[in-house]
Amino acid sequence: MTDLLDVFDLRHGAARVAVVGVAKNAGKTTTLCALLDALDRAGSPPPGLLSVGVDGERHDAFSGAAKPAIQVHAGTICATAEQAVGRSTARLDLLEDTGITTPMGRLFLARVHLPGELLLAGVRHRADLHHLTARMHALGASRILIDGAFDRLIAAEPTLTDGVLLATGAVAGSTPQEVARCTRDLVDRMRLPAATPALVARLPRDPEHRILVLHDEGTTPLEAETLLRPLPQLAHLLRQHRPDAIIVPGALTPRGADHLLAAGLRHTPLVLPDATHALLRPGDLRRLSRRGIELTVQRTIRVLGLSLNPVAPGGVHLESTPLAHALQEALPDLPILDVRTGLHLPPTA
């Protein structure tokens, strides 16, 4: 049997792993369960388990489609809410009240006493995720698994995780080639390059939460704290200086890209904290690239590999082997695994 821990090089290292899907019903929960089972079979110490949002429900909240349950093993430390505890078949020993409130009530850290199905009720804010992972480590979890919401890459933030498993498949397209394009677009966004060492050396040690323009005469903070509005000050600066870089402390959205282009920005790197702050579509990246605007990051994300799901709701089914080969052609440096069948393609680059 193909061992997931070996395929994704998880037997040693990568103490904090996020599982993220390209879309809903991409196979994220199935991948997470396979990872939990693989760790249990390997005799690894019980992990910590938390979620961005709710997971483990038996039916999708939007489509009503059946979903796999999250099966947890004894000793696992998890974060879940009051109402979720009563809807889980796993028996839990509550360890502490985190002080975090969710739509399903107060969030607790608990240890699985008897294995079974678990409904995870998680958090939405980076600060809460940092707090929970720190507490799980303090309670004895040597490895932490984060179940990431499909529509937010917050779980992939490199200060939270050492690597990301990406679940993809038929839900992302009607042909293997379409799935591969969609997956590559997301992986490209997740793997934005690091800012150059020379540029990093010029970053303020205690940066303000403001947009900074680095230029030949020093650093100028913009009055605007975000890119959500037009940037007349930036347009004025561009008439006086050729910027070396622009430091963006928050999110870069399609509207923010519009405002940068409208200000006349060209041939300038943008430096984001990490790729989870780039909330852009593939077309936005292409528009910026045509102007010579390169997106770079202070902290990079490590993509560990692709988990393949050839089935999508509504009866859509793609053949696993052609789909795996299309993904391998698009992303030759990543291992690919269908956790249901064991089909495995190693990296070719």
User: pLDDT, tens digit, for every residue of 141-175?
Assistant: 989 999 986 556 788 889 899 999 999 999 999 99
Name the percent of the chain lying above pLDDT 90. Answer: 65
- pLDDT the model gives residue 247: 92
Reply yes or no on domain 197-297 having CATH 3.40.140.
Answer: yes
Is a pLDDT exceeding 90 seen at residue 232?
Answer: no
Is a pLDDT exceeding 80 seen at residue 341?
Answer: yes
Confidence of residue 57 (pLDDT cuts 50, 70, 90): low
Residues near 140 by beta carbon (within 8 Å), at least 6 away in sequence: 45, 77
Q: Considering the chain, what is the average pLDDT of its residues?
A: 89
Rounded Cα distance, 227 and 301, in Å? 23
Is a pLDDT exceeding 70 seen at residue 76?
Answer: yes
Fold of 4-191+301-345: Rossmann fold (3.40.50)
Amino acid identity for residue 247 in this structure: I
- Residue in this structure with the two tokens 């997106």, named with its chain if needed: 295
Confidence of residue 65 (pLDDT cuts 50, 70, 90): low
How confident is the model over 84-100, as a mean pLDDT? 93
Amino acid identity for residue 9 in this structure: D
Rounded Cα distance, 22 and 167, in Å? 6
- pLDDT the model gives residue 203: 83
Q: Classify the C-alpha dihedral 42-46-48-49 as positive or negative.
A: positive
Query: DSSP labels for 255-293?
Result: HHHHHHHHTT--S--EEESSGGGB---HHHHHHHHHTT-
The residues that bridge with 312 in the sheet, in sequence order, are 316
Rounded Cα distance, 80 and 172, in Å? 29
Stretch(es) of the chain classified as CATH 3.40.140: 197-297
Burial of 83 (C-beta count, 10 Å sphere; 0-12/13-18/19+): middle
Rounded Cα distance, 304 and 34, in Å? 15
Q: Is residue 174 a contact partner of residue 316, using CB atoms and an 8 Å limit? A: yes
Confidence of residue 116 (pLDDT cuts 50, 70, 90): very high
Burial of 139 (C-beta count, 10 Å sphere; 0-12/13-18/19+): middle
Confidence of residue 13 (pLDDT cuts 50, 70, 90): confident
Is a pLDDT exceeding 70 seen at residue 62?
Answer: no
Is a pLDDT exceeding 50 seen at residue 59?
Answer: no
- pLDDT the model gives residue 197: 92
Stretch(es) of the chain classified as CATH 3.40.50: 4-191+301-345
Confidence of residue 1 (pLDDT cuts 50, 70, 90): low
How confident is the model over 183-191, as a mean pLDDT? 94
- pLDDT the model gives residue 79: 93
Burial of 76 (C-beta count, 10 Å sphere; 0-12/13-18/19+): buried
